[in-house]
């Protein structure tokens, strides 16, 4: 998945992400949950991209470090936030090897907007191990990941209709490419029986391979390094507490908040 990194270093992609400044519903929920503790926290904003989350967190925490494996993204962040105080920094770093940071450094680690989904399965597990290493015991780790229960909305014809005609046309163009150009070998029945998969879902005009996972499997991946795992709906921002709801929720992605062991 090396081409994913090259995509994120592209000028047009950097410009696209540098214009974003907002929080998704679950990010707002989690910010409010942690807000009383943030002034004492050293925060690591992993996969910071163009700095979408920086304005909301950097001013709240004791120390803020944003990093990305795309050098061009970090250069853009340094320009965008050039007037930030000394406790706000940006670094080029890869979540799979965060050797520039010592063990037990951060109180809160955020990896938002599905940044973990652009690396391989093996590298994903390695990333969790590294996050546990640089995080303090009892600290928090929050991230989002694509929900495998949502794939039927991507692949099935009936889900492409929208209220606006232009949106419907756009959806059908994407649907055709998804099914017949980029993923024509995918078997939907097998895909729905899988616990995770990687495919081109149309992100950034099909330039990325994206990881999708079921919530139950994601919780299993986390349990070795994290505890008190909570799941939040992308659509509502609310916590998903019931087991049957977690098994059936088909939001495009979900947010996870857990405590570092």
The model scores a pTM over 0.85: yes
pLDDT tens, residue by residue, 7-52 = 999 999 999 999 999 999 999 999 999 999 999 999 999 999 999 9
Say what the pLDDT of residue 197 is. 94
- Give the integer Cα–Cα distance in Å for 1 and 219: 24
Q: Is the pLDDT of residue 81 over 90?
A: yes
Average pLDDT over residues 81-97: 98
pLDDT grade, residue 165 (50/70/90)?
Answer: confident
pLDDT grade, residue 57 (50/70/90)?
Answer: very high
Say what the pLDDT of residue 168 is. 86
Name which of 98-112, 170-184, 202-216, 223-237 the model is least confident about: 170-184
Say what the pLDDT of residue 189 is. 67
pLDDT grade, residue 156 (50/70/90)?
Answer: confident
Say what the pLDDT of residue 167 is. 86
pLDDT tens, residue by residue, 96-121 = 999 999 999 999 999 999 999 999 99
CB 118 within 8 A of CB 4: yes
Q: Name all domains of the chain by residue range, CATH numbers in brackets.
A: 2-146+215-260 (3.40.50.150), 150-199 (no CATH)
Q: Is the pLDDT of residue 4 over 90?
A: yes
Q: Is the pLDDT of residue 148 over 80?
A: yes
Tell me the pLDDT of the chain averaged across its residues: 94
The Cβ of residue 138 has, within 10 Å, a number of other Cβ atoms equal to 10
């Amino acid at each position: 998945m090396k081409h994913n990194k090259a995509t994120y270093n592209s000028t047009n992609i950097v410009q696209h992400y540098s214009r974003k400044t907002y929080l998704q519903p679950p990010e707002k929920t989690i910010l409010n949950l942690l807000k009383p503790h943030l002034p004492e926290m050293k925060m690591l904003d992993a996969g910071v991209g163009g700095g979408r989350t920086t304005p909301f967190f950097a001013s709240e925490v004791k120390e803020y470090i944003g990093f990305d494996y795309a050098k061009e993204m970090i250069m853009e962040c340094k320009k965008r936030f050039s007037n930030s105080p000394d406790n706000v920094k940006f670094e080029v770093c890869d979540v799979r090897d965060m050797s520039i940071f010592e063990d037990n450094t951060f109180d809160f680690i955020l990896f938002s907007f599905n940044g973990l989904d652009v690396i391989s399965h093996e590298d994903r597990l390695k990333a969790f191990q590294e996050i546990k290493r640089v995080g303090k015991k009892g600290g928090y780790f929050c991230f989002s990941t694509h929900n495998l229960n949502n794939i039927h909305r991507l692949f099935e014809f009936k889900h492409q209709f929208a209220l606006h005609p232009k949106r419907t046309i756009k959806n059908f163009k994407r649907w055709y490419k998804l099914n017949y150009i980029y993923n024509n070998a995918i078997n939907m029945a097998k895909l729905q029986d899988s616990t995770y998969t990687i495919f081109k879902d149309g992100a950034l005009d099909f330039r990325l391979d994206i990881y999708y996972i079921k919530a139950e499997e994601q919780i299993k991946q986390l349990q070795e390094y994290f505890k008190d795992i909570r799941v939040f709906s992308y659509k509502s921002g609310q916590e998903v507490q019931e087991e049957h709801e977690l098994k059936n929720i088909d939001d495009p992605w979900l947010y996870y908040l857990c405590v570092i062991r």
